[in-house]
Amino acid sequence: MRVLIIKVSSLGDIIHTLPAVTDAHLAHKNLVFDWVVEENFLEVPSWHPAVDKVIPVAIRRWRRNVVKAYFNHEFRAFKRTLQGIHYDLVIDAQGLIKSGLISRLSRGLTIGLNNHTIREPLATLFYNKVYSVPRTEHAVDRIRQLFSRALKYNYDTRVVDYGIDINRIAGEHLVNEKKQVVFLHGTTWLTKHWPEQYWRHLAHIATESGYQVLLPWGNLEERRRAEFIGKDNGLVTILDKQTLSGLAQKINASCGVIAVDTGLGHLAAALAKPTLSLYGPTNPGLSGTYGAKQLHLNSDFSCAPCVMKVCGYSGAGVNDDFKGQTFAVIPPCFSSHKPENVWQRFENLLQE
């Protein structure tokens, strides 16, 4: 039996789908998955042994010029690949119009959520069969339920297995003698950023506790922030720019991870690394890191969680200081997460 998964982005959403793949493969040993995913995340589905073919799509790039993309050879090649196999089932685990379109382009019975529980109800127009899964449950649970109902099996809700085979992750398999912690400081929304002064303070606490701090980065702004965090601290290492596989290797070889609300935090959770995640304007209840050894620090600020990309706080400013330098805590909801407390909670997590 061959099933096509459509889950194109983002990193966290793709990782949230992996436990369902594990469940399905345990229930049906002859089941093989193919997976349509954005080209930037091509590595991730291939880490799961039940995934055979990973089909890249470039919607993010193509939509810059939709007409040109539709008629160019790249889209036609994608369409040919997509239609090269008749699938027993096509599961749209994304629930968006763009993923619904891809499901309709494929060959097979298309499955998705119904219009009361899906993110974009118009996507249901592309499905042959729909299922209702409560919107009040975590994304991992919702996808597991969708797969189990579509493929007709039961699973153990108490066990969450992302199924990643570390031997499938490209690159050198690292074994570190040093105590290392990875700081995942980059994220998308401006309001999700923990103040960089707090990161720098935390780096000092971590290195004084005997740890080496690893700082990945993905763009020039994150590189600048990493340099600020590591300034005047010889035990902070700013990594070279990493592929997802390379960063997965670094995370897997570390003692643990401290992260903001970012897709890479979900990667750490999938690798079963102790991860402390910092939440200010967002609520981890429906889409936070999920699995063993995961600790969420939620803000107790008056307006949190606002789930806003732009901070709307209009009250008195919140200030803090580090090494005699006063700075504004922006967004102020992160004033709940002092570096000293973050490190203490993280050390407690490591000892569990």
Q: What is the pLDDT of residue 16?
A: 98
What is the reported pTM? 0.94
175 band by pLDDT with thresholds 50, 70 and 90: low
Digit-coded pLDDT (tens) for 37-83: 999 999 999 999 999 999 999 988 887 776 676 667 888 899 999 99
Q: What is the pLDDT of residue 171?
A: 65
Digit-coded pLDDT (tens) for 237-277: 999 999 999 999 999 999 999 999 999 999 999 999 999 99
Q: What is the pLDDT of residue 72?
A: 74
Q: What is the pLDDT of residue 172?
A: 63
Q: What is the pLDDT of residue 173?
A: 64
Give dist(CA 254, CA 346) in Å, integer: 13
Domain 172-351 in the same topology as domain 2-167:
yes
Q: Is the pLDDT of residue 217 over 80?
A: yes
Q: What is the pLDDT of residue 178?
A: 75
Digit-coded pLDDT (tens) for 2-36: 999 999 999 999 999 999 999 999 999 999 999 99
Listed by start position, the domains of the chain span: 2-167, 172-351
SS (H, E, C) the chain: CEEEEECCCCHHHHHHHHHHHHHHHHHCCCCEEEEEEEHHHCHHHHCCCCEEEEEEECHHHHHHHHHHHHHCHHHHHHHHHHCCCEEEEEEECCCCHHHHHHHHHCEEEEEEECCCCCCCHHHHHHCCEEECCCCCCCHHHHHHHHHHHHHCCCCCCCCCCCCCCHHHCCCCCCCCCCCEEEEECCCCCHHHCCCHHHHHHHHHHHHHCCCEEEECCCCHHHHHHHHHHCCCCCCEEECCCCCHHHHHHHHHHCCEEEEECCHHHHHHHHCCCCEEEEECCCCHHHHCCCCCCEEEEECCCCCCCCCCCCCCCCCCCCEEEECCEEEECCCHHHHHCCHHHHHHHHHHHHHC
Lowest-pLDDT range, 13-22, 72-81, 220-229, 289-298? Answer: 72-81
Digit-coded pLDDT (tens) for 302-327: 999 999 999 999 999 999 999 889 99
Integer-rounded Cα radius of gyration of the chain:
21
CATH code that applies to domain 172-351: 3.40.50.2000
Mean pLDDT of 183-200: 96
CATH among 3.40.50.2000, 2.40.50.100, 3.30.565.10, 3.40.50.2300 for 2-167: 3.40.50.2000
